């Protein structure tokens, strides 16, 4: 089951897991309190209410630690138990340290060493057991949503590639691909269905819960009456673009068309949205400026000591509606990084990057001066990353819909930055554009908050830095 919340698709299994773990963390505090009070009078109502704030604080802190280690990211579950257990151990350790720090800074929150020790050990054991059960349960074939794909062309093949990557295989199962008027098959013949008869009967026999339409040319090619029959049977009918949007957080360029964009929900901008976005930008960037100012001073000093002035790097970038502005970053490359005069993407192990620059890029500290771009209004805190005019012109000529990423302000961080590695080729740019288009379609305060939280995760694990 998928729940849509503020235009974001959240698997019901993830919400259920989060709620169960919050209950376990909270309940463990009471287990600790009761065990520590053994032999005394049976806990009273006053006893219960006394530990409510402490239990909620413990549950919130521990759950937040699990979130920071991406243990609620359903697209990460494909890594299996061997991926989950080390991160769970690290997250629980981080939660213990965080709670200890909170007790030191706010003594009134302290629940007692004995209560805390028992609560931590009990919750760690129960959450680990719960996770092992959930991962075993998530791989049961009978609990997966059974999907039938209409079409066997290149669009249908993308679904197969998505399942091979393992990102959705724990939640969905493709029962097969049904050819419709097509002669060229881009999927393996072993998964092409030879079933004959009405679509509703085929779906019933194979216990299908969702049909994905993956046909390019639909003029007279879709069995509309049969699809309507399936819909009335309770089977979900999903366009390919909507399917990828829901399952991957992308809008695949090759499956988009002008008609779908015109009629699809989202792609909204307005005065109210602009005002709320601006207030959010000023508050978020102001807070970040206060927190990061000492870090920026140290970074500037290290850059100067290693390679001299200038410390800041100024560069033209393309912003909202194609307007060009000057972006500010800490310089992380040599002064002669583009001595040939031609712009070029940063590459893996790029020898132009200085020693200090490698650290700054890994921790994303080089991006911090862009806070001043946010204050000026050139950028937003969250949005598609701004590109240089040279690359924009090149990419717009080769990639359909590329210019639509400029319908919103660019950002310091963005959906593509937290979901995909650093882009350094046309192929990478297409992949990142598909995430950017998702943001353009669904942007809002809730998604901005999700991206900010995910940015902390990216900095924590160094994903995508180059």
- Quote the number of domains for the chain: 3
- Asked if residue 361 and residue 231 are part of one domain, the reply reads no
Query: Same domain for 342 and 455?
Result: yes
Tell me the C-alpha distance between 222 and 214, whole Å.
10
How far is 2 from 238, CA to CA, in rounded Å?
13
282, 393: one domain:
yes
Phi, psi for residue 228 in degrees, rounded to 5: -65, -40
pLDDT band at 168 (very low <50, low <70, confident <90, very high): low
User: Which pLDDT band, with edges at 50, 70 and 90, does 48 fall under?
Assistant: confident
133 and 195 housed in the same domain: no
Containing structural domain, residue 28:
2-138
Question: Quick one: 91 and 219 in the same domain?
Answer: no
Cite the beta strand spans of 256-406 per DSSP E: 312-318, 324-330, 380-382
Q: Is residue 265 part of a domain?
A: no
> Which has more pLDDT, 182 or 287?
287
Residue 229 located in a structural domain: yes
Average pLDDT value over all residues in the chain: 85
Q: What is the pLDDT of residue 457?
A: 79
Q: Is the pLDDT of residue 39 over 60?
A: no
Q: Which of 39-48, 286-295, 323-332 has the lowest mean pLDDT?
A: 39-48
- Domain C-terminal end among 89, 114, 138: 138
The reply to whether 131 and 182 lie within a common domain is: no
**285 and 428 housed in the same domain:** yes
Would 255 be classed as within a structural domain? no
Per-residue model confidence (pLDDT) at position 377? 92
Same domain, 312 and 174: no
Q: Is the pLDDT of residue 464 over 70?
A: no
pLDDT digits (tens, 9 = 90+) for 406-441: 999 999 999 998 888 766 677 888 889 999 999 999
Q: How far apart are CA 452 and CA 455, in angstroms?
A: 5
Taking alpha carbons only, the member of 139, 147, 200, 146 closest to residue 170 is 139
The pLDDT value recorded for residue 466 is: 44
250-279 pLDDT tens trace: 888 887 777 777 877 788 777 888 898 999
- What percent of the chain is predicted at pLDDT more than 90? 42
Q: Are residues 151 and 187 in the same domain?
A: yes
Buried b (16+ CB within 10 A) or exposed e, 202-237: bbeeeebbbbbbbbeeeeeebeeebbebbeeeebee
**175 lies in some domain:** yes
**Close Cβ partners of 322 (under 8 Å, ≥ 6 residues apart):** 403, 406
Residue ending a domain, choose from 138, 169, 192? 138
Of 91, 106, 138, the position where a domain reaches its end is: 138
- Beta pairing partners, 314: 328
332, 390: one domain:
yes
Domain co-membership, 316 together with 457: yes
Q: At what angle do helices 426-442 and 389-398 cross, to 10 degrees?
A: 90
Reading the block at residue 441, the tokens are 């379609």
The phi and psi torsions of 436 (rounded to 5 degrees) equal -65, -40
Query: Strand order in 210-213's β-sheet?
Result: 172-178, 145-150, 210-213, 236-239
| Residue 280: strand, helix, or coil | helix
Domain assignment of residue 254, yes or no: no
Place of tokens 């040599």: 334
| DSSP of 367-425 | GGGGHHHHHHTSSEEESPPP--HHHHHHHHHHSTTGGGGGGS--EEE-HHHHHSPPP-S
Query: Tokens 């000529």, residue?
Result: 397
Q: Is the CB of residue 439 less than 8 Å from the CB of residue 373?
A: no
Q: Which residues pair with 313 in a beta bridge?
A: 329
User: Which residues contact residue 263 at a Cβ distance below 8 angstroms, ignoring those fewer than 6 apart?
Assistant: none
What global pTM score does this model have?
0.82
Phi-psi region of 33 (alpha: psi -120 to 50; beta: other; left: phi over 0): alpha
**Is the predicted pLDDT of residue 465 greater than 50, yes or no?**
no
Is 155 in the same domain as 133?
A: no
Comparing 45 with 194, the larger pLDDT belongs to: 194
Report the pLDDT value the prediction gives residue 419, as an integer from 0 to 100: 85
pLDDT band at 40 (very low <50, low <70, confident <90, very high): low
Residue 58 confidence (pLDDT) above 70:
yes
């Amino acid at each position: 089951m998928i729940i849509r919340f503020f235009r974001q698709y959240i698997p019901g299994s993830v919400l259920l897991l989060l709620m169960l773990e919050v209950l376990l963390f909270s309940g463990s505090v009471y287990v600790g309190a009761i065990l520590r009070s053994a032999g005394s009078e049976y806990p009273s109502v006053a006893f219960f209410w006394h530990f409510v704030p402490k239990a909620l604080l413990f549950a919130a802190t521990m759950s937040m630690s699990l979130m920071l280690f991406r243990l609620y990211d359903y697209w990460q579950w494909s890594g299996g138990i061997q991926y989950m257990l080390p991160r769970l151990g690290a997250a629980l350790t981080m939660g213990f340290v965080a709670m200890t720090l909170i007790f030191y800074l706010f003594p009134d929150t302290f629940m007692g060493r004995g209560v805390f020790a028992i609560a931590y050990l009990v919750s760690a054991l129960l959450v680990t057991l719960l996770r092992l059960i959930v991962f075993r349960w998530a791989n049961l074939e009978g609990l997966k949503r059974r999907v039938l794909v209409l079409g066997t062309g290149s669009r249908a093949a993308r679904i197969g590639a998505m399942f091979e990557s393992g990102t959705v295989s724990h939640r969905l199962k493709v029962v097969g691909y049904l050819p419709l008027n097509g002669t060229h098959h881009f999927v393996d013949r072993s998964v092409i269905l030879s079933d004959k008869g009405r679509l509703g009967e085929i779906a019933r026999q194979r216990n299908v819960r969702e049909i994905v339409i993956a046909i390019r040319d639909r003029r007279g090619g879709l069995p509309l009456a049969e699809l309507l029959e399936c819909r009335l049977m309770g089977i979900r009918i999903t366009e390919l673009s909507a399917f990828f949007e829901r399952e991957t957080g992308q809008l695949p360029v090759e499956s988009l068309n002008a008609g779908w964009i015109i009629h699809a929900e989202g792609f909204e901008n307005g005065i109210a949205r602009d005002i709320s976005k601006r207030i959010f930008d000023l508050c978020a960037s102001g807070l970040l400026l206060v927190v990061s100012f000492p870090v920026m001073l140290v970074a500037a000093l290290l850059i100067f000591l290693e390679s001299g002035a200038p410390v800041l790097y100024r560069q033209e970038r393309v912003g909202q509606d194609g307007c060009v502005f000057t972006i500010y970053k800490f310089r992380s490359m040599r002064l002669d990084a583009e001595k040939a005069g031609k712009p070029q993407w940063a590459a893996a192990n790029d020898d132009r990057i200085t020693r200090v620059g490698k650290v700054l890029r890994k921790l994303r500290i080089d991006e911090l001066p862009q806070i001043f771009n946010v204050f000026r209004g050139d950028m937003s805190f969250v949005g598609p990353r701004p590109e240089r005019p040279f690359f924009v012109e090149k990419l717009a000529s080769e990639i359909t819909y590329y210019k639509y990423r400029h319908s919103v302000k660019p950002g310091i961080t963005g959906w593509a930055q937290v979901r995909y590695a650093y882009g350094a080729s046309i192929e990478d740019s297409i992949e990142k554009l598909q995430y950017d288009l998702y943001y353009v379609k669904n942007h809002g305060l809730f998604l901005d908050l999700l991206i900010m939280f995910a940015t902390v995760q990216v900095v924590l694990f160094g994903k995508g830095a180059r």
